[in-house]
Chain A
Amino acid sequence: MRIHIPGALRSYTGQQTEVEVGGATLAQALDALDQRFPGIRFRIITEQDTVRPHIRIFINDRQTFHLAKPLRDDDDVYVVCALSGG
């Protein structure tokens, strides 16, 4: 599946906007992403395996907070930052 990387995290991916990874679940896909770009997962997911505040994850057009969510090879995963603050 493809993980779409928000601008705030592209310093980790060498400015790549999309990254192809494998994995049967969202957790496995994020682990695979972190293997390639160390550190990126922790800036999205806490040490208690929860999605950080102001970050949302969509699988295709459905929002999810569950890392156990199954994924298909043709899914698109979107990581979205609210860019809150001022």
Chain B
Amino acid sequence: MPSSTNVTTSGTVTLFIGTRKGAFILKSDRTRRTWKLSAPIYLGHIIHHMVCDPRDKRMVLMAASTGHLGPTIFRSTDGGKTWKESTAPPTFRKLPEGEKGRTVGHVFWLTPCHANEPGSWYAGTSPQGLFRSDDGGATWKPFSYINDDPQYIEWMGSAQDGTPDGPKLHSIIVDPRDPKHLYFGMSGGGIHESIDGGKTFAPLIKGMETVEGFDASVVTYHDPHCIRLCPSNPDRLYHQNHCGIYRIDRPSTEWVRIGKTMPKKVGDIGFPMVVHPRNADTAWVFPMDGTTVWPRVSPEGKPAAYVTRNGGTKWIRQDKGLPRSNAWWTVKRQAMTHDTHGLVGLYVGTTQGEIWASRNEGSTWTCIARHLPEIYAIEAAVLGR
């Protein structure tokens, strides 16, 4: 959650946009009213995530693949003007001839390590793998033991159990108080925590529900879509799951389904989860239709964000400025984010290639870009000038 660690409360905002057909950079003026879109970067490449380093905002990493070539990571040291390829992208351990080893399909998630570990990054892949770089993304190595651990391999399930374009390791979270305290999510495979810098991990799934008919005690069956830690209270995490919206307040080890208080007609299914950078009681979701065959579009074709300002006791619909009907949006798990302005800005990217922004914490929305390729991910950085 790089944008969450950025505490700049005014200035221009830069959105780093990953799409199915390339990357784009969208820059605002200081008021966030006018926006300027870059030319496409690596047009035609699938950009799963593009993240600006909050510890050095000249550094940007981009997870890329194409429909036919292998995955890689591109890195920029000048804010996205020029790019170089990683010389050793994430790869699983090579197994001896005759044994079936895993291969990285694509890098899905990028997270800067702790503020005290400049230049270090984590990456999550599809199929599920956890990797780390200690040289600004130039070279990557497997991190922790989970990529080869028989128990974790079992929990990861097979490609048949994962999301349509491959099972994923995502939502890699570093506790801002302790670089050894880590979380990650797997779709499928649950949520996991380490308190010893990755030497050991353990599932954190109590309270989470699974699809009807599946045993909730089996880690494999859990599908957290997006997990966020509150920077203002790192003991509180929220997550949007395949089966509802949840909150946990550590040291509790049990998630509470706070989505039950969402309107019944809308439900609490979706992909992204956004938390306020300075108020742990405030969080946003962007619900998707999870009825019948799970269309995963805005319920009734009426897109809306929902905000809670009391930790999930109550949710308020925020749709002013958004289309009132016939808008069948899908918003992916990395395609909703926020800036850190005093009045927080929210940004939503759709699979139809539009970006909608709110300068007032979701009260009103305007479209700031359209006609882009299918949007996979948006990250925001406030440059403070």
Contact = CB atoms under 8 A, between A and B. Distances in A.
- Whether chains A and B associate is yes
Interface stretch (B62-70, B231-239, B285-293): B62-70
Give 4 nearest A-B pairs by CB, closest first: A85-B67, A47-B91, A54-B68, A46-B103
A84 B87 contact: no
B85 interface: yes
Contacts of B87: 38-39
Interface of A: 8-9, 38-39, 42-50, 52-55, 81-85
B89 interface: yes
Interface residues of B, number: 20
B2 to A, nearest CB: 25
Interface of B: 66-70, 72, 85-87, 89, 91-95, 100-104
A44 B70 contact: yes
A84 B103 contact: no
Contacts of A85: 66-68
A39 B72 contact: yes
Given A39-B85, A42-B91, A52 B67 contact: no
A44 B104 CA distance: 13
B67 A48 contact: no
Q: A8, A47, A54: which has the most chain B beta carbons within 10 Å?
A: A47
Q: B92, B100, B101, B103: which has the most chain A beta carbons within 10 Å?
A: B103
Given A39-B85, A39-B87, A42-B91, A47 B104 contact: yes
A49 B94 contact: yes
Contacts of A52: 68-70
B94 A81 contact: no
